[in-house]
Amino acid sequence: MRVTISPVARHVFLRLGLLGALLAFPARALIVPFTGWTPVDGNANVWTDSAGACLLREERHGQAFPTFDTQDKALAFAKRLQASLGKSAVREVVTQPVGRAGGWAVLAAYTYEDGGVAYRISQLYLSDSGILRTVTGSSAQHEASECVNAMREFLRYLAN
């Protein structure tokens, strides 16, 4: 089954490198625990639901990124990230530390507008052996498909 993503959604998702133009290295394939989700164009790092309403992307960046071994360290980064994102073209920015096995990650949520369409983005920042790895979920701001809450819960509690 081949899933088609609208050009606007694809454009938005490809532009989501909000930490700057980072050099991406190949990452291990993202394991998406949702029935009916498929890789986009055979890329196991980009997944969409069967209706094309939600999109997940995993990226490994060449940028050094610390491992947060305490909630306070993750919270300090979350505050800096929120301030940085608040100065960019996104709005309604919220960040928080999230517990992961053996440490902490940071989850950011914000609204991004492109071509007159608002998208709600959830982006998880993880340290993968000292290198930044992000898992980003995207859907139209008022999308009511079942995939939206499942995707957000995956990012909040399970993505690692």
Please tell me what DSSP assigns to residue 58.
Answer: E
pLDDT one-digit tens code per residue, 71-90: 999 999 999 999 999 999 99
CA distance 71 to 74: 5
Mean pLDDT for 53-69 is 95
Mean pLDDT for 37-55 is 93
Please tell me what DSSP assigns to residue 145.
Answer: S
CA distance 130 to 62: 10
> How sure is the predictor about 28, in pLDDT bands with cuts at 50, 70 and 90?
low
> How sure is the predictor about 34, in pLDDT bands with cuts at 50, 70 and 90?
confident
| Average pLDDT value for the chain | 84
Using alpha carbons only, give the angle 20, 115, 139 rounded to the nearest 5 degrees: 75
> CATH topology for 7-158?
Protein Transport Mog1p; Chain A (3.40.1000)
**Among residues of the chain, what percentage have pLDDT more than 70?**
82
pLDDT one-digit tens code per residue, 80-121: 999 999 999 999 999 999 999 889 999 999 999 999 999 999
pTM of the complete model: 0.80
> How sure is the predictor about 35, in pLDDT bands with cuts at 50, 70 and 90?
confident
Q: How many CA atoms lie within 13 A of 51 on its CB side?
A: 10
Asked if the model's pLDDT at residue 26 lies above 70, the reply is no
